[in-house]
Amino acid sequence: DADVTQTPRNRITKTGKRIMLECSQTKGHDRMYWYRQDPGLGLRLIYYSFDVKDINKGEISDGYSVSRQAQAKFSLSLESAIPNQTALYFCATSEAFGNEQFFGPGTRLTVL
């Protein structure tokens, strides 16, 4: 079974809808991250979490919010989706800062 899972894997929604993307991990890591990837670009950090009680904004947090429900779960919400949020979204975990990150398979989100 995959160590980092994301649901849904694909989602098509309409402008103005609220969307939640979920991430679960079985690696026992405290650090979790949400990234977005646009075609031909690298990943950009949306939010990251040191542990359940510590959540921080990344490079592009506007229009997004997150919830760390437990060590194993980190959810990303788009309160009112807009077309330029169409992208591939990745969740990642790491054991500690300065270590490698482990990525989920991604969620492809399309906002019409």
Partner 1 sequence: SQQGEEDPQALSIQEGENATMNCSYKTSINNLQWYRQNSGRGLVHLILIRSNEREKHSGRLRVTLDTSKKSSSLLITASRAADTASYFCATESGGTSYGKLTFGQGTILTVHP
Binding positions for partner 1, rule: CB under 8 A? 4, 31, 33, 35, 40-45, 48, 50, 58-59, 88, 90, 92, 97-106, 108
Taking the least distance from each CB to partner 1, the nearer of 59 and 79 is 59
Taking the least distance from each CB to partner 1, the nearer of 17 and 57 is 57
Tokens standing for residue 71: 């060590």
Number of H helices, E strands in the chain: 0, 11
- Rounded to a whole number of angstroms, the minimum distance from the CB of residue 84 to partner 1 is 18
User: Cα–Cα distances in Å, from 21 out to 27, 33, 40, 89, 96?
Assistant: 19, 13, 22, 9, 24
Taking the least distance from each CB to partner 1, the nearer of 74 and 90 is 90
DSSP type of residue 30: S
